[in-house]
Structure 1
Amino acid sequence: MPAWVCVRCGVQYPDTAAPPASCPICEDEREAVPAEGQRWTHTAELGSDHRTEIRTEEPGLTGIGVTPAFGIGQRALLVRTAAGNVLWDCVPLLDEQARRAIDELGGLSAICLSHPHFYAAHLEFAAAFDAPVFLPRADEQWIPRNSSRIELFDDEIEPVPGLTVARIGGHFDGACVLHWPEGAQGRGALLTGDTIMVVEDRGWVSFMWSFPNLIPLDAETVTGIARRIGRFRFDRVYGGWWGHVVLDDGAAAVHRSAARYVERLRGVRP
């Protein structure tokens, strides 16, 4: 029986004889069911006309995407450290090219995910590389497939020594970021998915409850996000899509973006 994949969001659901009646993640107000209705594919079908794309983002960091773009179109990030490799976020397809590339880079010690929209085929990756999946307890209700590989945490965890995954909330209650101190040539990098969204003007970021439905967050939540990442040293911010990167001055970009966001909410104009 195939593992069903939602065509809209790319999240993989359990193996059943027939596809699920609906995708709870897309029915939530932070996503959307397409106008033509819920559609499903499965892993074999997806692999017949899509493939993974592997790119080096910087030394120690490899991007894994799917081409042609599928679902939300995100790419995952493989962080390599002396203590082990961590896959940050996930994509809907694990093909032979991705398996070989990850094997050649040293496999996976852990998988961590920013929020449910990027869960994708995380359990397929976990099984292939015998890796645990760390998820925040605050988002437990959104887990689409149960597995003994999933380990829940509350506010913070080190998937391998030297890397920190911190729950900062906002987009989802359990929305997380990953801090990589050795990234950006030792200046530090923050991997955010779209918990903190790198926008078109690459010197800025933004924050939303729903991106497709354009529902903003409140001022208190945005201020809290900026405060929670204040203890991390980082110069670079990696968002959830190819090219969505703040290359330098990343910490300042997050804080000035949060301040601008709150000012606009309060009616302050430039």
Structure 2
Amino acid sequence: MWICATCAVEHDEQPDVCAICADERQWVPASGQAWTTLAELHHAGVRIAVRELEPDLFALHASPGVGIGQESKVVRTPAGLLLWDPLGYVDDEAVAAVRALGEVTAVVASHPHMFGVQVEWSHALGDVPVLVAEPDRHWVAREDPVIAAWQGDLEILPGVMLSQPGGHFPGSAVVHWAAGAQGRGVLLSGDTLFANPDRTSVSFMRSYPNRIPLSGAVAERVARHVTRRPFDRLYNNFDGVIPADATAVVLRSAARHAAWTRGDHDALT
């Protein structure tokens, strides 16, 4: 099993270039395609830390960073755990830390950039299902019987709903966790909606590293989709958070995005 050094997505074999990185939403380094393995990453000192974000929501972070460097989230419910946006690295200590929280029901990535070593995580956790959005199924570079496609809305655990607003990728997914934020609801948005540093707005992009925006119509469509269910707090796939009033933030940000892409504010430029 090979891991792309740039995006940390697992592969069955080494192609000339990682297809995910060659796509316009990602990038191949000027030095060329490079590969690594779990053994090499372990030897380099990569370790995973677990921290609690709020009651029953945890973050997994690899240090030094691996690939894109996302922060996985673990949602805990009485019926089991959801591992969201799996890291591009896993070891026995990290598995033990996750198991100490409960039994994982499924591994799900918000979109192909976040696949990480999803199959490896599944195997380490007892071959739990790896759910991949049907529109993005063709991006999987390591096939395994644990992979299952899904579409639409899926209640993966009681009160934990997966859905696919699309945007960044056609199958880009989010998690609505009804019990989060003391019952006011939490949205785990991946980078379908990216919490900005100001903590009062979100971004809608086809590519973040290459600065390709989505249209205003798509931003508003995504916002309408995710606000079908209430949420007060939003976490992206790194350490970004909208701590409160996140539903209003999403709708306001989509309207602002649409206005700028229409040219409403060109006089300011």
Instruction: Please state which band the TM-score falls in when normalised by the shorter chain.
Output: over 0.9
User: 1:231-250 residue pairs with structure 2 within 5 A?
Assistant: 231-242=228-239, 244-250=240-246
Q: Which residue of 2 aligns with 1:36?
A: 31
2:73 match: 77
Alpha-carbon distance in structure 2 between the residues aligned to 1:232 and 1:143: 29
Residue 52 of structure 2 is matched in structure 1 by 56
Which of these residues, 130, 150, 154, is aligned with residue 147 of structure 2?
150
Equivalent of residue 89 in structure 1, options 65, 73, 85: 85
- Distance in 2 of aligned mates of 1:255 and 1:188: 16
Match of 2:211 among 214, 217, 223: 214
Shift of the alpha carbon at 1:135? 1.4
TM-score of the two chains, using structure 2 as the length reference: 0.96
- Pairwise CA distance, 1:96: 2.1
Give distance in 2, aligned partners of 1:229 and 1:73.
25
TM-score (ref. length: structure 1): 0.95
Offset of residue 150 of structure 1: 1.2
Q: Secondary structure at the match of 1:102?
A: helix
Secondary structure in structure 2 of the residue aligned to 1:20: coil
SS of residue matched to 1:109 = strand
Indicate the residue corresponding to 2:11 in structure 1: 13
Matched with 2:120 is: 124
Q: How does 1:183-262 map to 2 (within 5 A)?
A: 183-242=180-239, 244-262=240-258
Q: Distance in 2 between matches of 1:233 and 1:88?
A: 20
Name the % identity.
Answer: 41
Deviations 1:40-75 (A, max 9, x none): 111100111211121111110110111011211111
Unpaired segments of 5 or more residues in structure 1?
none
| Cα distance between partner residues in 1 of 2:143 and 2:68 | 23
Q: 1:110–1:160: 8 Å Cα contact kept in structure 2?
A: no
**Structure-to-structure mapping, 1:101-180, within 5 angstroms:** 101-130=97-126, 131-180=128-177
Give the Å deviation of 1:213: 0.6
Counterpart amino acid of residue 224 in structure 1: R
- Aligned-residue RMSD, C-alpha: 1.1
Aligned counterparts of 2:254 and 2:161: Cα–Cα separation in 1: 22
Aligned residues: 264
Tell me, in whole angstroms, the C-alpha distance in 1 between the residues paired with 2:253 and 2:163: 20
Query: What SS class does the counterpart of residue 190 from structure 1 fall into?
Result: strand
**Contact preservation (8 Å) 1:134, 1:159:** no
Provide the C-alpha distance between the structure 1 equivalents of 2:227 and 2:157, rounded to a whole number of angstroms.
22
Residue identity in the other structure for 1:206: S
Structure 2's unaligned 5+ residue stretches are: none
Cα deviation, 1:113-141, whole Å, max 9, x if unaligned, reads 10000000110111111211111111011
The aligned residue for residue 27 of structure 1 is 22
Structure 1 residue 230 displacement after superposition:
2.0
> C-alpha distance in 2, partners of 1:204/1:220?
18
Task: Answer yes or no: is the 8 Å Cα contact 2:66–2:89 preserved in 1.
Answer: no
